[in-house]
Amino acid sequence: MTQTALLPEIGLGTFRLKGQEVIDSVTSALKLGYRHIDTAQMYENEQEVGEAIRQSGVPRDEIFLTTKVWWESLKHDELIASLEESCRKLGVERVDLTLIHWPSPQGEVPMVEYIGALNAAREKGLARHIGVSNFTIAQIDEALAVPGGEHIVTNQVEVHPFLANRRVVEHCQAKGLQVTGYMPLAVGKVMNEPVLVQIAEKHDATPAQVALAWVASRDIVVIPSSTKPAHQEANLKALQLTLTDDEVERIDRLNVGERIADPDFSPDWDE
């Protein structure tokens, strides 16, 4: 199934944000015009995210809300129960997108089981769409081939100038999947990269905006995390920035395969 523009092209990431901080972050983002909010069971902030959405006054059907199922809840019944709990915490009947946050470590839970459960949750009305996160090329191919896998719309992976993740990105796009890029600012590291600083100066922009524009230029959905309204607004404006071919090539050369999210249960990465 080809999905060309299902997810809004920019969203607000909420990883590491808790309590009032995440409420304030989501509230200001929605006020600025964000309509894509990304959370996860593991972030332990679904309740606060839901509270901010309800208090925002933005109609629920205008917000694209994503959550993710943690790898410890991948068995069929546990997955569905965990997603029901996520919806309760978020205060919604269903989310717009549910992702498998990480593939089952060492394949402990068969993919046919948890992709099937994910699709069953979709059919049950707990999610409008389903997808995966941190899947390798081989895992994407396996997921798309099992029953229910035909409904997968995205693979959310780490993408920033120091980790282009080109092989998996291009493979997913060739399969008709949107790619969502998390940590697009490399947890702030982009701010001090000389190449990005130089390019930013030419555009009267910030290095963060240049990094986001580079990721977006690859038809990747970006979900930067920010608690400051000024930074959130700047991130939105980054999508209006057009880089030259030469600038894109210079940023491309920054790729050194530097992976930030690499826990001990990670799959065998392609890059």
User: Considering the domain boundaries, does residue 108 fall inside one?
Assistant: yes
What three-state secondary structure class fits 5?
A: coil
Q: What is the pLDDT of residue 4?
A: 53
Mark whether 182 is an active-site residue: no
36 is in an annotated binding site: no
User: Considering the domain boundaries, does residue 209 fall inside one?
Assistant: no
Widest CA span of the chain, in angstroms? 54
Residue 16 is part of a domain; what is its CATH number? 3.20.20.100
Is the model's pLDDT at 60 over the cut of 50? yes
Q: What is the pLDDT of residue 1?
A: 39
Q: What is the pLDDT of residue 153?
A: 98
CB-count exposure of residue 106 (10 Å: 0-12, 13-18, 19+): exposed
User: Considering the domain boundaries, does residue 192 fall inside one?
Assistant: no
User: Considering the domain boundaries, does residue 190 fall inside one?
Assistant: no
**Which position among 34, 43, 114, 182 bears the catalytic label?**
43
Interior/surface letters 225-248, b for 16+ CB within 10 angstroms, e for the rest:
bbbeeebbbbbbebeebebeeebe
Q: Reading across the β-sheet that carries 36-38, which strands appear in turn? A: 12-13, 36-38, 64-69, 95-100, 127-133, 152-158, 178-182, 220-222
Is the model's pLDDT at 56 over the cut of 80? yes
Look up residue 152 and give its amino acid.
I
Rounded to an integer, what distance in angstroms lies between the CA atom of residue 34 and that of residue 64?
9
Closest by Cα among 6, 2, 15, 7 to 34: 7
Is the model's pLDDT at 13 over the cut of 90? yes
Mean pLDDT of the chain: 97
User: Considering the domain boundaries, does residue 36 fall inside one?
Assistant: yes
Predicted confidence band of residue 271 (pLDDT cuts 50, 70, 90): confident
Look up residue 26 and give its amino acid.
V
What average pLDDT does the segment 152-156 reach?
98
What three-state secondary structure class fits 139?
A: helix
CA angle 162, 5, 215 (to 5 degrees): 15
Predicted confidence band of residue 3 (pLDDT cuts 50, 70, 90): very low
Phi then psi for 260, rounded to 5 degrees? Answer: -90, -45
Q: What is the pLDDT of residue 5?
A: 73
Question: pLDDT tens digit string along 205-235?
Answer: 999 999 999 999 999 999 999 999 999 999 9
Please give the share of the chain, as a percent, with pLDDT higher than 70. 99
Question: pLDDT tens digit string along 158-217?
Answer: 999 999 999 999 999 999 999 999 999 999 999 999 999 999 999 999 999 999 999 999
If one counts the domains in the chain, the total is: 1
User: Considering the domain boundaries, does residue 89 fall inside one?
Assistant: yes
User: Considering the domain boundaries, does residue 193 fall inside one?
Assistant: no
Structural contact between residues 143 and 118, judged by C-beta atoms closer than 8 angstroms: no
Rounded to an integer, what distance in angstroms lies between the CA atom of residue 221 and that of residue 18?
23
User: Considering the domain boundaries, does residue 265 fall inside one?
Assistant: no
Domain housing 142: 12-185+219-226
Task: Count CB neighbours of 268 within 10 A.
Answer: 7
